[in-house]
């Protein structure tokens, strides 16, 4: 017959704050919760970054998008993106930094925009949006670490308010998405996307 466990008041006794190590557990618990929370946020951000539908996106995009030129993605071209959202208009740009740094900019304001930079294999390297603390304007420069060294020594005036995106490759692709809440916004968003500049500097 199993023995009956006896109740011990010590099991419910409050923790003595003077006891060595007693105050460490709340701090350790808070640190663990913080790390788990940060990890969840990081995963959510990665899931929100638009992905190319396959790793052959460079070749498929080359058929419709010349180097260093903005190309709006419409109709069948949207198949390049995994799970396209009809509320967003999208533009793509293939680039080769061997011809110089790449300046990406667009005039005007839209309800929301996001931009993502990928290497030639479709791997996401960087993403930003108009809520990133860089201001509402779409204005960033893609460059290699070596080119960044030169920029630091002699910053062009047109880059004074630009965000700098360093990537470890010469060739890559980028996607810019702009949000149209309803049909009345579509003309403005279309002009924003069509007027986007993606050219070597």
pLDDT tens per residue, range 121-161 = 888 999 999 987 566 789 999 999 999 999 988 898 889 88
CA distance 171 to 186: 31
Residue 45 pLDDT level (bands cut at 50, 70, 90): very low
Do the Cβ atoms of 170 and 58 come closer than 8 Å?
A: no
Mean pLDDT of the region 36-60? 56
Question: With contact defined as beta carbons under 8 Å apart, do 120 and 53 qualify?
Answer: no
Number of alpha helices (DSSP H) and beta strands (DSSP E) in the chain: 4, 9
Q: Quote the pLDDT of residue 20.
A: 53
Instruction: Name the pTM for this structure.
Output: 0.71
How is residue 4 written in tokens? Answer: 């009956």
Gap between the Cα atoms of 159 and 6, Å rounded: 75
Residue 10 has pLDDT above 50, yes or no: no
Q: What is the pLDDT of residue 80?
A: 80
């Amino acid at each position: 017959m199993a023995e009956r466990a006896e109740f011990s008041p010590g099991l419910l006794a409050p923790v003595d704050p003077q006891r060595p190590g007693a105050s460490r557990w709340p701090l350790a618990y808070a640190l663990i919760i913080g790390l788990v929370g940060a990890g969840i946020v990081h995963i959510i951000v990665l899931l929100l970054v638009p992905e190319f539908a396959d790793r052959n996106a460079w070749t498929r995009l080359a058929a419709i998008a010349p180097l260093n030129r903005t190309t709006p993605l419409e109709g069948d071209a949207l198949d390049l993106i995994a799970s396209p959202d009809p509320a967003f208009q999208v533009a793509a740009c293939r680039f080769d930094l061997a011809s110089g740094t790449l300046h990406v900019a667009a005039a005007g304001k839209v309800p929301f925009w996001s931009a993502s930079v990928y290497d030639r294999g479709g791997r996401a390297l960087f993403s930003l949006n108009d809520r990133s603390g860089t201001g509402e304007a779409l204005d960033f420069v893609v460059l290699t670490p070596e080119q960044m060294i030169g920029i630091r020594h002699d910053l062009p005036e047109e880059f004074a308010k630009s965000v700098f995106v360093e990537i470890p490759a010469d060739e890559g692709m980028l996607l810019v998405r702009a949000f149209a809440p309803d049909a009345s916004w579509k003309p403005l968003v279309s002009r924003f996307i069509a007027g986007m500049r993606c050219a070597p500097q």
